[in-house]
Structure formats: C-alpha cells, structure tokens
Structure 1
Amino acid sequence: MKTFFTLLFVSLLGLVVALGVIYYGDMKQSGNNIAISSFKLPYKSFIAGTGIVESGSKNIVIGSSVGGIVKEVAIQSGDKVHKGQFLFRIDDSKISINLPILKAQIATALSQVESAKHQLDIIQKMQDVSVSMVTKEKYTKLLDNYNEAKANLKLAQQKYKALLKQQKLYKVYAPIDGIILHSDITVGSYFAPNSQALVLGSNHYNIKVNINEFDAWKFHKCAQATAFIRGNPEQKVQLSYLYTIPMIKPKTNLTGSPTEQSDTRVLQIVYQINKQPDFPLYVGEILDVFIQNIEGE
C-alpha cells in the first residue's frame, strides 16, 4: 500500500513539473515574438498588389566587346559612379606589345618618304636646268617611288591609330550616372564579353506593381497609389503613375505566401517614387502596394 502511494506521489509530481515546463516555454516563446504594428489602409476601396523595386534605367549589365584577364578594378558593389568613370581594365598586353613595332614601321616609312622626296627634288631641279638631263622614265619612276612611300606611311599610321582605338576597348567606363548594383569582378578573374559579373543601375528607382488580372478592370492611371515597406508599415512611399505594360502575363515574382498560386496572371504597372524617402530602398525589394479604386469610392 505504501508503495502505491509513493508511485502516485511521484506521478503527480512529474505531471506538475511537465505542466510547469510547458507553461514556462510558452511564456518564453511569447516574449521573443516581435509585435508588428498594424497600419491604417490608405483608401476605403483599393486594389492590392505586390511591387518590386527596379532601377529607373533598368539593370544595365556592363559588357565589353573583348574578353580577357582583369588587370585592374576601380569599383565594388554599392559604389556610386558618374558617366564616363573608369570601372575596370582587361589585360591588353597582346595589343600593347605591337605598338612599338608599329611605331618603328611609321619611322621607317617616314624615312623612306623623305628619301624619295629628296631624290624627286633633285630630279626636278635638274629638269629646271635642262629638260634633256632627265629622262621621262627616270622621273616617272622616282615619282612613283615617292607616292608609294607616302602610301606606306599612311597605311602604317592608320594601323597604329586602329590599334590605339582597339586598346581603348580593354578599359570599361560607366555609361550613365548610377550605382553599382552587383559586382563579381576581381583582379585575375576572366571577363567574357557576355559576362553578367557587373550590373549598374541609375540612382532613381521605379516600382513595378503586379495586380491580379481579375482586378485589372478596376485600375485607373489617375488613381493614387501607396507602397508600404514589408515588416514596417509605418514606412511608406507615395507613387506616381508612369506607364502600363499592356499585356497580361503569368506572375513571376513570387512573394512566398502559402496561399499564393504560381499560375496567377497579372497586369504590370510601373510607378515612380514621388519623393526619395529617408529610409533605404533596394533593387529587388518587394513592397505591398495599394492603388485607389476610384469606382468603389
């Protein structure tokens, strides 16, 4: 009998300890939860959509008409650049090694021109004294030599200029004022003409909004639109309509919501930000966008 009560007491004690652990664990978990403040909807009637931040210039993949080993890099991701600013340089040793050779060819061709011109001048002076002193064949041959020398000089100079122009292709510069969105370029790496290693975007951002095709009929370009930052609805930006992409297409920018369907078809509308906010926006960031439904208000 005594053993029975001992086992009963131990069982009750274990039950109490288990309940205490569960209760304490729930309290600890609830204490770790971060409260997300609710926000007031901007319009009585609205069209809800998801927007993705894009560069106003679109993403510009920086390329080059030549490929090779990267010898110098002057930028990194996040750097602001201005139009014409040097970005990186590809090894141009195959070009530069030929420049001294062409310079020597130009010098040789110039010397030949001067020599041919000197000989032609002598013959012309002899003709001035007496025409019979110089045969027509001799004069014609020296004149041809002079013209040939000039042509060789011009060709060598053109080759040199073409090589200098080609050498410039190995240095890459920023095509616009903007910001380096992505850079995987490092010294010693190989840069191919079709490389995706460097992406540049303009300093101003647009927001491309996807709205469900079932709401497309409600949309009006004169309607107001507001975008909210996910996780902090107190941060918002007012939008101005730019243009509509006049084509319903399958949604490609999935938000990760468990109720989201991958076969959703959307109308895409591009807005610009009215005023640069005092908080950062990032290309590729997804925002919650509400567009006023003028017909419903």
Structure 2
Amino acid sequence: MTPFTYSRASDTASAVQFGAMAQAKYLGGGTNLVDLLRETIEQPSSLIDVTGLSSAITPTADGGLLIGAAAKNTALAEHRLVLSHYPMLTRSIVAGASAQIRNMATVGGNILQRTRCAYFYDTEGSRCNKRSLGQGCDAIDGFNRNHAILGASSSCVATHPSDMCVALAALDALVHLQGPTGARVIPLVDLHLLPDNDPGKETVLLPGELITAIELPSPLVGGRSTYRKVRDRASYAFALVSVAAILAVEDGKVTGVRLAFGGVAPKPWRAKKAENALLGAPATEATFRKAAEAELAHATPLSGNGFKVELAIRTVAALMTSLAGDQS
C-alpha cells in the first residue's frame, strides 16, 4: 500500500480545501476504496475522511427527500420516508450488499464505487484500460459473463456495480456537488460516463469536487415501484441483470413510467427508449416485452454474456406485469 496522509474534515469547506490537493481522495465508509488501496489500484497521497459531514435525511418543501452523502446505506434503507415513499430504493440497497457492508457504506461512496471486473483487480496478470490507458482490455476476449451489453466500447466492457444507483436513476435523483469553484446540482444519470476512449474517467466530477447530498423528487403520482435483481446466487453477489421500475396505470393504459437497468452497462442505465414506447400504451405483458426489446435492440453481447439480452427482456416484462397487476 502506498503511504498517504490522513485528514478528517470538520465541514464541507475544509473537505473541499483538502480535496483540492493533488492526488487526494475522499474517504467514506471505505468498503470499496480500502480494497483498491490494498491492491495499489488507487494510490492517493492523502485521504480526507468525510464521514463526519451531513448524514441527515430530511423532507424537502416539494415533497421529495434530501439525503446527506455521509448517510449510511442501512440508515437510508430503514428510514420511514424511504420505506413509505420510495420502497424500490430500500429493496435495491438491501439487495446490494451484506448487512455489515450496508452498516459501513455511505451513500456518496456507493455512488462512486468502481467496477468489480476481475481483470481490473488483477494488477499482475491482466491488461486493463481503466488502470492504464492503452494497455488493452482482456475482458473482451476473456471470461466476460458478467460484463456489459449496453454502452461499452472497444476500450472497456466493465459494468457499474451499484444496485442503489439503479434505483436512484429510475427515481430521477439529483446529485449535489461542492468543489473549489462552487456548488452545482446535476442529474444522477449524467454523473457517470460511458468508457468511450478513456475508461479511467468514470464521472463528470471536477478535481476536488465532493458529493454533499442526493435529492429525490416527490414520488410519481399513482405510481407503484419495485426493484428486482437477478444473480447467480441468492446470497451477496453482483447483478447479472437488475431492473428498477415505477409504473402508473389508469384505465388499463400506462400513464407514467420510469425504468432503469443494472448489471448491463458501465453506468446505471436509464431505459428511455422503453419508457417512450410504454407511455400511453396498454399495460400488458406483450407491451412490456416489446418495450424492453426496443431498449435492447442495439445491445452488443460478448462471447459469454449473450443470455443477458433475453434475461433483461424477461425481467422487465415480468416485473412490469406484476406492477400493473397491483393496480388493476
């Protein structure tokens, strides 16, 4: 492990001041960053502990929710307003990790966790463009069962590992940022980048920028929501395919829909094509399947993960049919 200095931020201003230093990293729960430090994938010269910053979860004036970035995943999943207004978010967090990890992990850290691609972690024997641009990507022609079918590139086919982010994408969450040049708010769906030619650049964060809060808008009127994660085993495992869905139905037709995928792309994947196909359409299994097929029409499977296309389509159709049935 590379030597580093450690500082504990007492407020956002001091955190950003420390974070503006070269090769500095913000430390939340450390459930991903510490592993990356041990593997020498991350080699910061300084760590800024931000766990003492805001962890409050408070309602907003417009009926939404403001979540401090230092809130623990367990606290968020168990919060009464999340359980009552955003149950999909609770389901995604509980599906995402063991209780011990949820108790340590922070919301901000979860959003910024890095891929669990085995080739990314194999620093001794595998080529990875995320670690060193220009090396190549051994996953493309290797064991790629868990890799991306949407949004990948010839440089990288890794998937984003977060379950919580998939739910946040479907919920139209906003990310509050504070950096050396000031504050800004961006949609969560715009935070993460697709790999293109530079897989090591994973977010739009500027140097020294810190996630301070996540904001959820008020729930979709008349909508019901849920999250389903398909994985190789029921115990702690990353998604092969996951789906976060919100559906509102009136008189047998879709009046509102939000849909996002996990386990299939380098970022939480908002399924806009499927949403557009569903609005105003009959709330039937056939319609849901056709919309999912439209979203997956341009999928580019690898040698070992072609099954993900049909798996995603079936998961969407089953999940949306269940939600529609709850409103009939």
Give the TM-score band, short-chain normalised: under 0.3
More strand by share: 1
Larger Rg: 1
TM-score, scaled to structure 2: 0.18
Q: Which has the higher contact order (CA 8 A, sep 6+)?
A: 1
